[in-house]
Amino acid sequence: MFSPRTKLKTATEFDFPYQPYNIQQQLMEALFDVLEHKKIGIFESPTGTGKSLTLTCAALRWLESHENLVRQDLLARITEIENSIQRLNEESNKSVDWISIQYEGAQQRKELCELRKLGELLQKEEERLQEMRERHTLLRKNSKHLKQTHSSSLSTFDEAKSADVLDEDEVLLDDIIQDDEEVQEQESNDFPSVQIYFCSRTHSQLSQVVREIKKTAYGKRIRCVSLASRQQLCINPQVRKLTNVALMNERCTDMTKNSDKINTVSNAKMQKLSGTKGCSFKRVQMLHQLSDAALVDITDIEDLVNEGKSTHLCPYYAARAAAKDAQIIMLPYQMLLHHRTRVQSGINLRGAVVIIDEAHNLLDTISQLYSCEISLQQLTILQQQMTGYKMKFVKRFNTSNLLRINQLIFVVKRLIKLIKPNGDGTNSNRRTLRTYDVTSEGEFFNINLKELVQFCENNRLAQKLQGFAQRQNQEPQPSENKPPVKNSAALDILKKLQQEHAERQSKSQKRQNKTKEEDLKDNVVNDSNKPRIPVSVSTLRPFLSFIDSLTESADDGRVFIDYDANAKSGTLKYLLLNPGNHFETIINEARAIVIAGGTMQPTTELTEQLFNKCPTRVQQYFYDHVVSSDAVLPFVVANGPTGRQLCFNFTQRGNQDMMTELGMILQNICNVVPAGVVCFLPSYEYLDEVYAHFERNKVLASISQKKCIFREPRGTAAVGHTVEQLLVDYSNAIKEKHGALLFSVVGGKLSEGLNFADDLGRGVIVVGMPYPNRHSPELQERMKYLDITLKPGAGNEYYENLCMKAVNQCIGRSVRHIRDYACVYLLDERYSSERIQKKLPHWISRCLQTPSKFGLVQAATAKFFKTKSS
């Protein structure tokens, strides 16, 4: 990476699409400095302050300035050294000390040679990029013809069949093949330019940022590309049917080996090959057309997929090809934060700028990405599959493969025994272990698990095993003399497992806010209109993830065994406790890192757990909301209308009097707050309890005279009422009727990522403090770990922070732009604590009121809205 000798001065002009507010200007200047001085910046800027746009404008402005400086400095240095060498040559002829002069000259000639090489690379790159633009412009002119040509020449490819069930030879292990194109590090002969990696939580958020960049002056000159997995970008209907992304990856990789053959043969042969299992969309000679379009036109995922479909070119490989030349690359969290995914996606962070937006849950996200779980049923089915596989092909395996297969079966058996130690499974088993306890108790400490995982990956054993299982399912049941590869019990388990897997996936998607408005859009973007067919659940993949996690440092994680003898079900779960280790590579490789979010407080978690080895690089910036302090009126409501102290902790919140008090508060607030009010409760169970109490006591009937009442559905599309429909109805009720009250759950479908701007959220109520279950073994281990590794009390701090981050997310749903206004009510006397108030966003804590009586809350609210309506 070429480093200029001078530093850039802080920019003041950022090509922002409109006159920036003061805090936006300050943020952009600070971010420019962070990038220039290779720092790590933590930025808190409330939602609604145009944070993503300020981040991108500042970063792109810095990048352009840096690129100019690099070019100028490189050329200046070449000229200076050329002059210096000439001077030294002249001096050498005259001087007696010609040896040292010649030595110096040789050094300079070496440096000149390197700089000239860089200069040539830079020039070549500029020429290539210019050619690309011209080529793309020309192609655009003929785009209609191009699409027609693609459509007609490829109609046969659309019908290409790719078998869902593999042939027998395809499920057999080869001798180890190290052919994964994705993990090969490529020798680059390009100029080492700085790239910006901008990542956010969802593709919708990234698409929003792309749309914003397009509207700026950078939209016409910056090369930007969006990366995503095959799940989002693959357009081959046969592969899209495989809902599992790992399966899609493997199927695509196998198919594209054939595509590469297709690309090298004549057209006549091409059609013949298309009837085999190659992917017709990966046509190397033409792929640049789509990658050029992705770069020049600035496309988001949806654009890229549409363009790929109309040109019959693979958007996944086009995006990857384009990333090499992009100045800014948009990608979701997991692609950047997960090391293996990063490597497989060809992401190189050396010298890059990394911007992580919406980073309020960064530590948890990293932990989740590296944590994994496998169930007893998965292990049982895996054991059957592996045994059947071995028996089927035992005569065709070479010795080395047979050894590995035996090792795999052995480890699977030992893990089953670990879950059910007494064999018959009559005793429940709940324990927390270190990784070395698992390998030693399981008696497989002498097996190199890393090599075993590598063996399976190199041989794509997961796919082969799955293909084998599918074949077995389709074949007639084995006769008595054949090995019982699949008996009906196994099939039952498999079916149950698939069902459980679907449920788990649905739960996990819910957890990842997949049902939120933006993600609903994601589904529309990601999905073709065609239904997906279910496939057998892979059992080897979760097993490999689990044994891979056993190779982590023993201090960094814990393994939880949970076996319920009554339900005859059990799990092994690995929980990563130290996300810092996995983030260290990013810190070491990237030039600068920006961590940004609407509510980043408390940032001590980040500084202590991620950046403790580089404290001097870290700089923190906190910005106020763009709204003035009189646009938001937040209260701590410590007492109800009867004067009763409010405490919605686990033991007191079910108390009838407490719920009655809550009912009175809601009725009073709904009387004075106009339009929409959103009320967040700590859990779905409590929402059910409160709702039933309100129904019994006519509280709902009373409120409904003022506002229509809505309630967040529990589960997926519960009572046929999707979140999307709920929000539409809620919004209509506000517009067309007298207003609405929406009951929601902290950490539920509506507490993150949704926008309750203006009338949708004139009042936000948070009932109680949503602490997670302190008795969860995972939480206890994490707290213990923090107490030991950071300082005594760090665990409690973490526990409190989990609660406050969830509260802050709820609060952040309202007041979304400079003209917006709202009241916020924190119902619980525990919010009166100064320590807790320090964990609220500054734009809330700066004007927080703690009235001694509830009547004062109501009066202040009425006055607040009166001034707003006048």
For ligand SF4, the closer CB: 129 or 165:
165
Residues 263-282 that bind ligand SF4 (CB under 6 A): 279, 281-282
For ligand SF4, the closer CB: 29 or 260:
260
- Check residue 255 for interaction with ligand SF4 (CB under 6 A): yes
Torsion (CA) 774, 775, 778, 779 in degrees, nearest 10:
10
Q: How far is the CB of 527 from ligand SF4 (least distance, A)?
A: 14
Q: How far is CA 50 from CA 27, 252, 764, in A?
A: 11, 39, 22
Sign of CA dihedral 681, 687, 692, 693: negative
Quick check: 274 and 258 in contact, CB under 8 A?
no
How far from chain centre, in Å, is Cα 478? 44
For ligand SF4, the closer CB: 241 or 591:
241
Strands (DSSP E) contained in 589-694 are 592-597, 618-622, 632-637, 676-681
Q: How far is the CB of 516 from ligand SF4 (least distance, A)?
A: 27
Residues that bind ligand SF4 (rule: CB under 6 A) add up to a total of 14
Q: How far is the CB of 320 from ligand SF4 (least distance, A)?
A: 10
Q: How far is the CB of 200 from ligand SF4 (least distance, A)?
A: 23
- Check residue 157 for interaction with ligand SF4 (CB under 6 A): no
Q: How far is the CB of 321 from ligand SF4 (least distance, A)?
A: 12
For ligand SF4, the closer CB: 283 or 839:
283
For ligand SF4, the closer CB: 250 or 608:
250
Q: How far is the CB of 473 from ligand SF4 (least distance, A)?
A: 24
Q: How far is the CB of 347 from ligand SF4 (least distance, A)?
A: 17
For ligand SF4, the closer CB: 202 or 249:
249
For ligand SF4, the closer CB: 317 or 648:
317
Distance in angstroms (rounded) separating the CA atoms of residues 603 and 598: 12
Stretch that binds ligand SF4, among 233-241, 364-372, 604-612, 714-722 (CB under 6 A): 233-241
For ligand SF4, the closer CB: 317 or 831:
317
Binding mask 74-103 toward ligand SF4 (x if CB under 6 A, else -) reads: ------------------------------
Quick check: 550 and 574 in contact, CB under 8 A?
yes
The bridge status of strand 328-332 relative to strand 224-226 is parallel
Taking CB under 6 A as the criterion, the residue among 244, 256, 515, 683 binding ligand SF4 is 256
Taking CB under 6 A as the criterion, the residue among 49, 200, 207, 236 binding ligand SF4 is 236
Residue type, 132: M
Q: How far is the CB of 162 from ligand SF4 (least distance, A)?
A: 8
Residues 424-483 that bind ligand SF4 (CB under 6 A): none
Q: How far is the CB of 670 from ligand SF4 (least distance, A)?
A: 52
Quick check: 278 and 255 in contact, CB under 8 A?
yes
Taking CB under 6 A as the criterion, the residue among 317, 444, 560, 648 binding ligand SF4 is 317
The bridge status of strand 328-332 relative to strand 372-375 is unpaired
Distance in angstroms (rounded) separating the CA atoms of residues 781 and 778: 5
For ligand SF4, the closer CB: 160 or 760:
160
Contacts of 1 (CB under 8 A, 6+ apart): 192, 194, 350, 351, 591
Q: How far is the CB of 318 from ligand SF4 (least distance, A)?
A: 9
Stretch that binds ligand SF4, among 126-134, 232-240, 606-614, 671-679 (CB under 6 A): 232-240
Angle between helices 449-458 and 540-549 (to 10 degrees): 150
Taking CB under 6 A as the criterion, the residue among 2, 43, 157, 316 binding ligand SF4 is 316
Taking CB under 6 A as the criterion, the residue among 112, 234, 329, 447 binding ligand SF4 is 234
For ligand SF4, the closer CB: 236 or 378:
236
Q: How far is the CB of 280 from ligand SF4 (least distance, A)?
A: 8
Distance in angstroms (rounded) separating the CA atoms of residues 704 and 726: 17
Taking CB under 6 A as the criterion, the residue among 314, 596, 679, 766 binding ligand SF4 is 314
Residue 541 has φ and ψ, to the nearest 5°, of -60, -50
For ligand SF4, the closer CB: 242 or 810:
242
Distance in angstroms (rounded) separating the CA atoms of residues 721 and 66: 52
Quick check: 621 and 43 in contact, CB under 8 A?
yes
Residue in 833, 843, 375 with CA at minimum distance from that of residue 625: 843
For ligand SF4, the closer CB: 112 or 314:
314
Quick check: 558 and 434 in contact, CB under 8 A?
yes
Q: How far is the CB of 238 from ligand SF4 (least distance, A)?
A: 8
Q: Quick one: tokens of 391?
A: 């028996």
Residues 747-786 that bind ligand SF4 (CB under 6 A): none
Distance in angstroms (rounded) separating the CA atoms of residues 520 and 467: 32
Q: How far is the CB of 235 from ligand SF4 (least distance, A)?
A: 5
Distance in angstroms (rounded) separating the CA atoms of residues 426 and 853: 57
Stretch that binds ligand SF4, among 309-317, 343-351, 396-404, 597-605 (CB under 6 A): 309-317
Quick check: 360 and 597 in contact, CB under 8 A?
yes
Stretch that binds ligand SF4, among 310-318, 332-340, 470-478, 848-856 (CB under 6 A): 310-318
- Check residue 31 for interaction with ligand SF4 (CB under 6 A): no
Q: How far is the CB of 594 from ligand SF4 (least distance, A)?
A: 31
By the 10 Å C-beta count (0-12 exposed, 13-18 middle, 19+ buried), 239 is classed as: buried
Q: How far is the CB of 839 from ligand SF4 (least distance, A)?
A: 44
Residues 188-217 that bind ligand SF4 (CB under 6 A): none
Three-class SS state of 741: strand
For ligand SF4, the closer CB: 343 or 493:
343
Sign of CA dihedral 583, 584, 589, 593: positive
The bridge status of strand 592-597 relative to strand 618-622 is unpaired
Largest alpha-carbon pair distance within the chain? 106
- Check residue 294 for interaction with ligand SF4 (CB under 6 A): no
For ligand SF4, the closer CB: 309 or 738:
309
**In 10 A of CB 212, how many CB atoms?**
17
Q: How far is CA 183 from CA 238, 249, 292, 345, 401, in A?
A: 24, 13, 24, 8, 22
CA 92-96-98 angle, to 5 degrees, is 40
For ligand SF4, the closer CB: 231 or 601:
231
Taking CB under 6 A as the criterion, the residue among 150, 230, 558, 582 binding ligand SF4 is 230
ω into 531 cis (within 30 of 0) = no
Stretch that binds ligand SF4, among 47-55, 248-256, 428-436, 620-628 (CB under 6 A): 248-256
Compute the radius of gyration of the chain from its Cα atoms: 30
Distance in angstroms (rounded) separating the CA atoms of residues 206 and 226: 8
- Check residue 290 for interaction with ligand SF4 (CB under 6 A): no
Q: How far is CA 504 from CA 209, 332, 470, 589, in A?
A: 31, 22, 22, 36
Taking CB under 6 A as the criterion, the residue among 74, 210, 239, 485 binding ligand SF4 is 239
For ligand SF4, the closer CB: 263 or 850:
263
For ligand SF4, the closer CB: 305 or 386:
305
Quick check: 680 and 745 in contact, CB under 8 A?
yes
Taking CB under 6 A as the criterion, the residue among 42, 63, 235, 273 binding ligand SF4 is 235
- Check residue 252 for interaction with ligand SF4 (CB under 6 A): yes
The bridge status of strand 353-356 relative to strand 557-564 is unpaired
Quick check: 376 and 563 in contact, CB under 8 A?
yes
Name the site residues for ligand SF4 (rule: CB under 6 A).
Answer: 230, 234-236, 239, 252, 255-256, 279, 281-282, 314, 316-317
